[in-house]
Amino acid sequence: MTSDFITLIQEMVLKPDISSAVVIFWFSLVNELAAILPYVALVSGQLIFLEASGFHTILYKFFIFIAIPAGVGSAFGAMFLYGIAYLGGKPAIDKFGKYIRLSWADVEKATSRFKGGWYDELIFLAIRCIPVFPSMPVNIAVGILRMSPWRYFLLTSIGFTIRMMILFGFMWAGAEALSY
């Protein structure tokens, strides 16, 4: 089953089109909810096999058919925990935190960095762009801080899209280094 999944991802990345963008959108949404696997690395890793007429063509295809759908799909998936934290706060974390391996101390640690100013949104966006930063504590912390749902969704979509582009850059640089 895993090899079938990898083959499917490889086909979507190597021949990107609107149908692959839809599949990546839905997979990103589900992956953000369930953390199935580090799909971003898997998707980006397939780029070393991508043959196109040039870097700009590959960049365009990756941005339109992979990065944007993955970013928006992940943002929709992230809305679930954000919504629970936004509506439920500490009682929800105390009750359901054990199922997602999250304690109130984890949330307090994440929220200590936010002070309520406009720069918090820039910090939030920067955190979303970092490929190795876990999103679950941030989703919950920002929900508890009651960031506007619209702003949360927009910044999360942009941040996850930038995250995909950063990973693309790392993978492209790695592929170029291997080709020498």
pLDDT digits (tens, 9 = 90+) for 29-39: 777 777 666 66
Q: Is the pLDDT of residue 28 over 70?
A: yes
pLDDT of residue 166: 87
Look at residue 42 and tell me whether its pLDDT is greater than 70. Answer: no
* CA distance readout (Å), 175 to 49, 51, 127, 180: 9, 12, 26, 9
Residue-averaged pLDDT of the chain: 78
Mean pLDDT of 112-138: 82
Question: Positive or negative, the Cα torsion across 35, 138, 166, 170?
Answer: negative
- pTM value is 0.75
Q: In the block, which residue shows the tokens 């990973």?
A: 167
Residue type (1 letter), 164: M
CA distance 169 to 161: 13
